[in-house]
Amino acid sequence: MPRMKPFVGAPDGFKGCLCCQTIKPLAGFNIDRDATDGLRRYCKPCDMAKSAAVRQRRRTLALAVKAMTNPTAMTQAERDERDGAFADAIVAGSVRMAASVATVQALKVPAVPLPKPVRKPVDPVKRAADLARQRSVRAYNARCASFPLPAFV
């Protein structure tokens, strides 16, 4: 997305939204500590709409991945939601999103169980040395704790 130029003629206490191209009071913008003026570039309604669109895209992709890994785990309602989201994405002109979901579905990678971690055998001599070192460190810490700390003036 090309970067838009900020509003130049906004009066004090107001800021222009780069999405809807309107000038609104500063209370209409969310906080962004990284921005130079401390506020987000989009007003609250535009920010909420963009966040909702991102959530919907992520939800659609998550459903596609779930269907790809285990199609029998989806309920009929989830399948209907997935199919409706695909249709909405195509109708809304988000061909790239529909293509990425279709690509994920076309992969059809089977679910492979993860191997169990292999535990290394413990060397008894090394284990005994570790326990002795731990005991000596605890004893040293106990001795050091009994000394009073000097008072700084």
Q: pTM (2 decimals)?
A: 0.41
**CB of 101 closer than 8 Å to CB of 89:** yes
Per residue in 2-45, pLDDT (tens digit) is 455 556 677 888 888 888 888 899 999 999 999 888 899 899 99
Question: Binning pLDDT at 50, 70 and 90, where does residue 1 land?
Answer: very low
- Supply the DSSP symbol for 8: S
| Tokens coding 76 | 């009929």
Domain ranges of the chain: 14-47, 51-107
Per residue in 41-89, pLDDT (tens digit) is 899 999 999 999 999 888 888 877 776 666 566 677 776 776 676 666 5
Residue 18: closest CA among 33, 1, 34, 38: 1
